Structure 1
Amino acid sequence: MESTTQSFDFPNVLNATMPPERRGVRRDHVKLMVLDKKTGETKHSTFNHLKQFLQKGDLLVLNSSRTIPAILKASLWRKGLLLSDQLEVRLAHRQNEQEWEALLLESNAEMGDVLQFSALLSAEVAGSSITNPFNTLHFNLKGAALIEQIYLLGQPVRYEYIDVPWALDYYQTVFASDPGSVEMPSAGRAFSWELLFDLQRTGIQIAYIQLHTGLSYFMDDKWHQEPFHNYEQYNMPVETAELVRKTKAAGGRIIAVGTTVVRTLETAIDPAGGSVAQAGWTNLYVHDRFPLQIVDGLITGFHEPKTSHLQLLTAFVQQDLLMNGYHEAIEMGYYWHEFGDMNLII
């Protein structure tokens, strides 16, 4: 289903090419646009003043997934013959403790081919598809040992608007714990521990889910996946589901920090629409006609036109009001992307 979200233009100067810390701004002092989802009214502040726009009893839900350095280099071997010595491999989705879906750039790899990443790490091409760009890789290591090697060898995914190879630490949220995201769950990046503790002192609750983000850019225009083809692994803990239910029952609001949290909270529900603890894979597609059952508000960054992330926002606020807010953000010089400014829709 093609996105109906309006197109818009913004100048390249609004692409955040560096972390705010490198331009002299604390991560929790980026700009914040607050958008009233009913009226479209906007307010402008900085993220460290977030509590002014929340209420005692509200529940902030964050994604605790940790970003991995998902770009690796390997030599490609077939039946003992070297086919390529500098193949770029982009990890896309973790399938289990030993297998990943991955994008092999400029490669016609076949099942049975071997990728040699280092003296310690290799993988066999165990599957491929003509309907998506990914190959399945079966590694010689698994679990923590595999993750350790990925961290030693890999580089974080960086897109074309980033012109400096910023270190992996810049692509982490302060509360990230379990490695697995190929791209940073960036809506949580603006939080500092100081801000989180300050919010809790004022009666705002904090809870965590986990969704490991997959690879969203395939480097080749021939590959196009609809939003509902995007499966990502999630975990809704028991304590978070209980806190969501209690907050809703008490009249508090559920504020998702990021589109990944929206997908998780709206996936992990029972037939009556209540939050439940569960884990698995979700391909939930949230759009302007999607009936939100759990989430009342959203903290997110600013998204490019005609993307599923932008369309998800129209489940919260009418498209015309959203576009009005975006045009205002452009006029006021808000920054886009993972190192950019923030938007609270409530």
Structure 2
Amino acid sequence: MTAVMDFTLPAELEAHEPPEARGLRRDEVRLLVGDQGRVAHHRFTDLPALLRAGDVLVVNTSATMPAAVPVEGAALAVHFSTELSSGRWLVEPRRVRGPATERATDVVAGQRFPLPGGGRVTVRVPFSAGRLWESDVDIGGRDVPDYLAAHGEPVRYSYVPSRWPLSYYQTVFGTTPGSAEMPSASRPFTDRLVSRLVSAGVQFAPVLLHTGLASPESHERPYPERFAVPEQSARLVTAARAQGRRVIAVGTTAVRALETAADEDGTVSAASGWTDLVVTPERGVRVVSGLLTGFHEPRASHLDMLAAIAGTDALDETYAAAVNADYLWHEFGDVNLLLA
């Protein structure tokens, strides 16, 4: 397995609140372009001028659920992550520490957590080094996204000290609730910017991948997530590649869905289910020629995917430039366009 990239992230480069709280529109965050080792500094509003007519942007239509639910009678919360094909859910029990939460390390199989509205989660089998648990969810036959909409709040970690409404965690493309954390690479897009991109000849290919919970403490490898690539998007992407046009994924989630649906020569077919694909430099990418993404923490497993697209040396140079120029990290931070 490829060793992920390590670097020092100064604390002042963590985005603690949405750009709107910093006096910016969503689409006014900074955009660092890394193109085969060359870097350039922009605002996200420059994106239509940086892309070409005929480029295809692959976007994730998953909407963010308010996936954090308090445990009744205890200083605990249950974070809902991913629905499994068995019908169980992967969940993460976390201990509440003031405005933040931390991993609960004393959870045992069979433990039950009472939730608001008469709900209950029973953890069964440890998963992902014991951080997540395969669990039975008893919410009276209700749909989990509907239950979370009534009783949950957005997942947040210690670097975001204040609560923000769910709308701050949604993207312009999100139509189907299912992500435990926001597919944040899409956050800077606005209706106006999408219109400008379409007018410039850029095409959009929607896919779906419900992203699970990150592991801010231990950076585990990616685990299976639910995805779907529609027939129309598969045809659009395959035609673009055949014509020599660029396919640029918006977010690592879009890469994972698209690459899962591709065969060895890069032909994409309609597909759905659960993907366990892990993209590394050794595996490489078969479809995408670029990636628009946020900045990822040191040692985060997503960095292997970025290296597979941009190359390790170019990625190192891009991240060094981002740190030196004070770009902001995390879901409310700045964004990075990597081109192969």
TM-score norm. by structure 2 comes to 0.89
Q: 2:2·2:304 contact (CA, 8 Å) conserved in 1?
A: no
Query: Residues 34 and 94 of structure 1: is their aligned pair in 2 closer, same or farther, counting only changes over 3 Å?
Result: same
Q: What residue number does 2:3 align with?
A: 3
Q: 1:98·1:142 contact (CA, 8 Å) conserved in 2?
A: no
Q: 1:28·1:47 contact (CA, 8 Å) conserved in 2?
A: yes
1:291-343 deviations in whole A, cap 9, x for unaligned? 31100111011111211112211112232222222122222221111111111
Separation of aligned partners in 1, 2:267 and 2:288:
11
After superposition, the CA RMSD in angstroms is 2.2
1:93-149 deviations in whole A, cap 9, x for unaligned? 1125963111223453443x5433123433444x22375333333333478643222
Q: What residue number does 1:181 align with?
A: 179
Gap regions ≥5 residues in structure 1: 76-83
Q: What residue number does 1:64 align with?
A: 61
Query: Residues 11 and 178 of structure 1: is their aligned pair in 2 closer, same or farther, counting only changes over 3 Å?
Result: same
Separation of aligned partners in 2, 1:44 and 1:284:
32
Q: 2:117·2:151 contact (CA, 8 Å) conserved in 1?
A: no
> In the TM superposition, what are the counterparts of 1:1-346 in structure 2 within 5 Å?
1=1, 3-5=3-5, 7-37=6-36, 40-75=37-72, 85-95=74-84, 99-105=88-94, 106=104, 107-111=106-110, 114-125=112-123, 127-129=124-126, 132-141=130-139, 145-217=143-215, 225-227=220-222, 230-346=223-339
Separation of aligned partners in 1, 2:147 and 2:169:
18
Q: Partner letter of residue 91 of structure 1?
A: F
Separation of aligned partners in 1, 2:141 and 2:188:
30
Separation of aligned partners in 1, 2:93 and 2:188:
32
Q: 1:133·1:218 contact (CA, 8 Å) conserved in 2?
A: no
Query: Residues 160 and 176 of structure 1: is their aligned pair in 2 closer, same or farther, counting only changes over 3 Å?
Result: same
Separation of aligned partners in 1, 2:192 and 2:216:
37
Query: Residues 45 and 270 of structure 1: is their aligned pair in 2 closer, same or farther, counting only changes over 3 Å?
Result: same
Aligned-residue sequence identity (percent) comes to 39
Query: Residues 143 and 239 of structure 1: is their aligned pair in 2 closer, same or farther, counting only changes over 3 Å?
Result: farther
Q: 1:98·1:143 contact (CA, 8 Å) conserved in 2?
A: no
Count residues in correspondence.
Answer: 328
Separation of aligned partners in 2, 1:35 and 1:142:
50
Query: Residues 274 and 68 of structure 1: is their aligned pair in 2 closer, same or farther, counting only changes over 3 Å?
Result: same
SS in 1 for 2:303: helix
Separation of aligned partners in 1, 2:142 and 2:38:
48
SS in 2 for 1:263: helix
TM-score norm. by structure 1 comes to 0.88
1:197-245 deviations in whole A, cap 9, x for unaligned? 11011110011111111112276x6xx7334xx1111111111101111
Which of the pair has more CA radius of gyration? 1
Q: Partner letter of residue 93 of structure 2?
A: L
Separation of aligned partners in 2, 1:143 and 1:48:
45
Separation of aligned partners in 2, 1:129 and 1:36:
41
Q: What residue number does 1:81 align with?
A: none
